[in-house]
């Protein structure tokens, strides 16, 4: 007897058994952080300052804009609106989940920034943690760890790659470029952007995993 088509989940939905590969990467990223802080951050900062150029700063500034929370949220909202207006379930779902991932990642990064109070590469006491703790409201120079741009870029990339797997390399490639731009602009250390990538991936995973569970049980 032919199997009837299951209409409970529209075709093209990102709600499907979740690939655990993304989650498996996050412990590795967190594990390398001490090594980066101790041996990589300082030399990379020195190297970056020696190779910066006006043209490079201009390009990096344009790329880094893709990681701004409002920009990432605008991309998600645009997909949500398109999906709702055109009756496209996948786009509406991607937009909703993408926005949730950006918000979750952004809130998490802000909490961690104000807990670790790490001084930015060009700020006084560069690279030190717990400077003037608690650092809430004491200036952007003390909120280097983790990189918020990297968090939002990887959170959105995680959701988008689940919906459009054919473009996975593009989404994550752009997220990597955003992370590298933060280092080139001397706004963050390598450990900051690696931590941001890990948090962003985790935020995207949590949103997609929770959404898949809730939709299966009819709680949408």
| pLDDT tens digits for range 203-216 | 999 998 877 644 44
What pLDDT sits at residue 2? 44
Separation of alpha carbons 141 and 136, rounded Å? 11
Residues in the chain: 220
Residue 8 has pLDDT above 50, yes or no: no
Q: Residue ranges of the domains in the chain?
A: 53-210
pLDDT bracket for residue 10 (50, 70, 90): very low
| pLDDT tens digits for range 153-182 | 999 999 999 889 899 999 999 999 999 999
CA atoms 22, 24, 30, 32: torsion sign? negative
pTM (predicted TM-score):
0.88
Average pLDDT taken over every residue of the chain: 88
Buried b (16+ CB within 10 A) or exposed e, 124-147: eebbeeebeeebeeeeebbbbbbb
Mean pLDDT score, 125-141: 88
| pLDDT tens digits for range 47-61 | 999 999 999 999 999
């Amino acid at each position: 007897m032919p199997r009837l088509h299951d209409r409970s989940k529209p075709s093209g939905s990102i709600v499907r058994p979740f690939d655990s590969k993304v989650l498996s990467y996050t412990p590795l990223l967190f594990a390398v952080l001490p090594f980066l802080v101790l041996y990589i951050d300082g030399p990379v900062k020195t190297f970056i300052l020696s190779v910066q150029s006006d043209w490079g700063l201009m390009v990096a500034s344009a790329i880094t804009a893709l990681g701004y929370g409002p920009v990432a949220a605008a991309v998600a909202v645009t997909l949500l609106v398109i999906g709702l207006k055109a009756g496209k379930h996948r786009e509406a779902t991607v937009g909703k989940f993408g926005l949730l991932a950006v918000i979750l990642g952004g809130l998490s990064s802000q909490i961690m920034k104000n807990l670790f109070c790490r001084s930015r590469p060009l700020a006084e006491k560069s690279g030190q943690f717990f400077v003037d703790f608690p650092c809430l409201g004491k200036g952007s120079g003390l909120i280097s760890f983790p990189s918020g741009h990297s968090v939002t870029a990887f959170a959105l990339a995680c959701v988008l790659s689940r919906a459009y797997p054919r473009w996975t390399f593009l989404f994550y490639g752009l997220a990597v470029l955003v992370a590298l731009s933060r280092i080139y602009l001397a706004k963050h250390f390598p450990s900051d952007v690696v931590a941001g990538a890990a948090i962003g991936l985790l935020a995207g995973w949590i949103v997609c995993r929770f959404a898949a569970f809730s939709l299966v049980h009819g709680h949408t």
